[in-house]
Amino acid sequence: MIQNQHLFHIPVMGTGHSIDSPIRVAHLGIHSVISVVDDLLCEKIRKYYCNEFGLEYKNIPRSLPDGRAVRIMAYLDTVSDIVSSKFDDLKNLPLFEDTEKDRYFRLLPDSNPLKETYNFVSALTEKKGRQKFIQELTERMTPGAIDVNIMAKVDALKSGNDGEPLSSEYSDASAALRGFAMSKLSSSVVLSAGFNPRLYSYLAEFKDFYRDHAGDIKKKIILKVSDFRSALIQGKFLAKKGLEVAEFRIESGLNCGGHAFASDGVLLPVLLREFHEKKDQLMETFRPMIKSFYESQGWDYTENEEINTTPRITVQGGIGNNGEMRRLLNDFEMDATGWGTPFLLVTEATCVDDVTSAVLAEAGIDDVFLSNVSPLGVPFNNIRGTGSETHKNELIEKGKPGSKCPKGFLVSNVEFTENPICTASAQYQILKINHINESELTSEEKDAEKKKVMEKTCLCTNLGTGSLIRLGIVKPSYGRQAICPGPNIAWFNRFYTLEEMVDHIYGRRESLVPQERPHMFAKELEMYVDYMEELMRGMDDDSPEMRKMKKMHKNLEEGMEYCLDIASQTPYPGENLESIKVSVETSRKRLEKLMGVAA
């Protein structure tokens, strides 16, 4: 794994918003994550960048037997070639002449040894000695990683051209993994959205996920996890196959972008505390299993003292200023942080079209919300006023709701058909609406149920549309752009340069967000109470679901007590701890009312 020179990375955002982020920022040493859910989008972006950089392009047709894996491999190889070329060009530039090479070092955190050396050398006047230091600095530069995200549960099984089911290695997630494994990248795969034993077992088919004779691993594994127990279970499953987890990436259940996988009310600070207290247990549990597997295969388990094999623990979801980041790094001893949503307004780092960027910049607190638009049936962070919302409403007004489902990555429903279809598709929505119309529900109940059906949106296509418009591949008039920022976007209200955002992250400038912005822990608590309130609408006091609500309430109470402990501490600069106290007080009153009604 390439060493992260920074204290942050740019997580995956939608299918298109970070799809070319490595091309934009990796030569400057910044890690970012590409989504490969949509291999057809990858192919279009590959064609664009091959033309931009004068690289040979040959179309990979949809009819190719292993086309999905080949398209993903080809795109990742293209990104790798471009990043390598840009980084080599950067290294060959002179230093201390205000070049992109100087920019590389200036962006680094002040605590980075490279930055400290750079500052030291910049003050030297003796040319001969200075040149030696410049050479050493250049040799120690590393590019940002080109990491790849695969949603483990988005794993539809495919049929061949003859209509017969294909074997499991041709499923969507397995084919995506194969594309990454066959690529020339030396980076990490980020597995998210749940535990998929079949996919995890498939990792063992590729030698690049194991140690070489030097003790290095070319392709590493990052697991996005919801809690410590999940990390332990998934890590043990992989360890029994000799596979090592390089990083556990913790994300807030609700205060994040994209799909929101809510916990049972276990708040992020409680999760972080458990990881902080038990992180040594991870390697103590995994390492004997890994070594045992190597022995069973007759392989050498080479340990390299220069390579840290202890899993990194990182966190993302709702981080908004340097004070919050410092608490995560210092008090919880996280190895790094993920900053996604704010970078949607950094045009140099992400791929968002102008119209959607304006929607993001102008968004207020009430414009960002948890929606039911995802065909996966998982709450989805959304924003009002997108092209996708407009297009969906136009179809409904015309009496033609739903998508033509041109890609089919989220097919899962078999309510009316033998083969799975997508709940955002016109086929499903027409069938479901007819079923509702024929039911014995009242008119009001029918309207409410039909509204739920038509809420679903084609995320497969629409989450990539903004990137195609931004790059000029499709015209802005096509519209349909979907985007999935976290609630943090309400506090970032204009476009930012890369320097502005990085300096904001490191606390090297006046904060880009106002002091009254609620602390990330306060916002998450508020969102969990909102979520619980929504779940309890119309719920009977004696329903089985009420037991889950009581458990969630109990966990929230525990979390609120810990949040108050944090709020009583000395704040880091810019950290709004007072908002945590206010949020706890308000949330307790709301929960008392909710549970009182339920009782």
Give the 3-state secondary structure of residue 72: helix
CA separation (Å) from 471 to 348, 442, 465? 13, 49, 10
**Residues contacting 46, CB < 8 A, separation 6+:** 57, 71, 74, 75, 78
Q: What one-letter code names the amino acid at 130?
A: R
Rounded Cα distance, 47 and 45, in Å: 5
What angle, 0 to 180 degrees and rounded to 10, lies between the N-to-C axes of helices 578-598 and 520-535? 10
Q: What one-letter code names the amino acid at 18?
A: S
**Residues contacting 27, CB < 8 A, separation 6+:** 83, 86, 87, 89, 90, 100, 104, 143, 144
Mean pLDDT of 177-202: 95
In a domain, residue 264? The reply is no
Q: Give per-residue pLDDT as tens, 392-418.
A: 999 999 999 999 988 888 888 899 998
In a domain, residue 129? The reply is yes
Give the 3-state secondary structure of residue 190: strand
Q: Give per-residue pLDDT as tens, 192-239.
A: 988 999 999 999 999 999 999 888 999 999 999 989 999 999 999 999
pLDDT at residue number 302:
85
Mean pLDDT of 287-299: 95
pLDDT at residue number 245:
96
Q: Give per-residue pLDDT as tens, 105-146.
A: 999 999 999 999 999 999 887 777 788 899 999 999 999 999
**Residues contacting 228, CB < 8 A, separation 6+:** 271, 274, 275, 278
Looking at 154, 179, 196, which one is the last position of a domain? 154
Q: Are 83 and 185 in contact (CB under 8 A)?
A: no
pLDDT(540) > 80: no
Q: Give per-residue pLDDT as tens, 233-282.
A: 999 999 999 999 999 999 999 999 999 999 999 999 999 999 999 999 99
Reported as type and span, the H/E element at residue 371 is strand 368-371
In a domain, residue 597? The reply is no
pLDDT at residue number 381:
93
Q: Are 171 and 27 in contact (CB under 8 A)?
A: no
In a domain, residue 548? The reply is no
pLDDT(563) > 50: yes
DSSP 107-160: HS-TTSHHHHHHHHHHT---HHHHHHHHHHHHHH--PPPEEEEEETT-----B-
In a domain, residue 51? The reply is yes
Q: What pTM value is reported for the model?
A: 0.94
Q: Give per-residue pLDDT as tens, 471-528.
A: 999 999 998 999 999 999 999 999 999 999 999 999 999 999 999 999 999 999 999 9
Closest by CA to 189, choosing from 36, 315, 38, 309, is 36
Give the 3-state secondary structure of residue 345: helix
Phi-psi region of 408 (alpha: psi -120 to 50; beta: other; left: phi over 0): left
- Percent of the chain residues past pLDDT 70, beyond the cut: 97
Q: What one-letter code names the amino acid at 267?
A: L
Q: Provide the pLDDT confidence category of residue 1 given band limits of 50, 70 and 90.
A: low
Rounded Cα distance, 237 and 223, in Å: 12
What are 192's two structure tokens? Answer: 């998210």
In a domain, residue 311? The reply is no
Give the 3-state secondary structure of residue 34: strand
In a domain, residue 429? The reply is yes
Reported as type and span, the H/E element at residue 9 is strand 8-9
Rounded Cα distance, 353 and 342, in Å: 15
Residue 426: domain span: 341-512
> Hunting for tokens 């950067």 — which residue is that?
90
Q: What one-letter code names the amino acid at 121?
A: V
Q: Provide the pLDDT confidence category of residue 597 given band limits of 50, 70 and 90.
A: low
pLDDT at residue number 242:
97
Rounded Cα distance, 168 and 181, in Å: 16
CA separation (Å) from 513 to 320, 354, 490, 507, 519? 8, 22, 10, 12, 11
Give the 3-state secondary structure of residue 103: helix
Neighbours of 42 (CB within 10 A): 29
Q: Give per-residue pLDDT as tens, 346-394.
A: 999 999 999 999 999 999 999 999 999 999 888 999 999 999 999 999 9
Number of helices (H) and strands (E), helices first, in the chain? 20, 10
DSSP 197-262: HHHHHHGGG-GGGSB-TTS-BSSEEEEEESSHHHHHHHHHHHHTTTPPEEEEEEE-SSSSSSB---
Reported as type and span, the H/E element at residue 381 is strand 380-383
Backbone dihedral angles phi then psi of residue 425, each to the nearest 5 degrees:
-80, 150
Please give the tally of structural domains in the chain: 2
**Do β-strands 336-338 and 32-35 pair in parallel, antiparallel, or remain unpaired?**
unpaired
Q: Provide the pLDDT confidence category of residue 420 given band limits of 50, 70 and 90.
A: confident
- For residue 488, the Cα-to-chain-centroid distance in whole angstroms is 15
What angle, 0 to 180 degrees and rounded to 10, lies between the N-to-C axes of helices 459-470 and 354-362? 110
Looking at 126, 154, 182, which one is the last position of a domain? 154
Closest by CA to 24, choosing from 86, 71, 94, is 86
pLDDT at residue number 599:
47
Looking at 512, 545, 562, which one is the last position of a domain? 512
pLDDT at residue number 21:
98
Neighbours of 578 (CB within 10 A): 15
Closest by CA to 340, choosing from 20, 564, 32, 35, is 32
In a domain, residue 431? The reply is yes
**Neighbouring C-alpha atoms within 13 Å toward the C-beta of 324:** 30
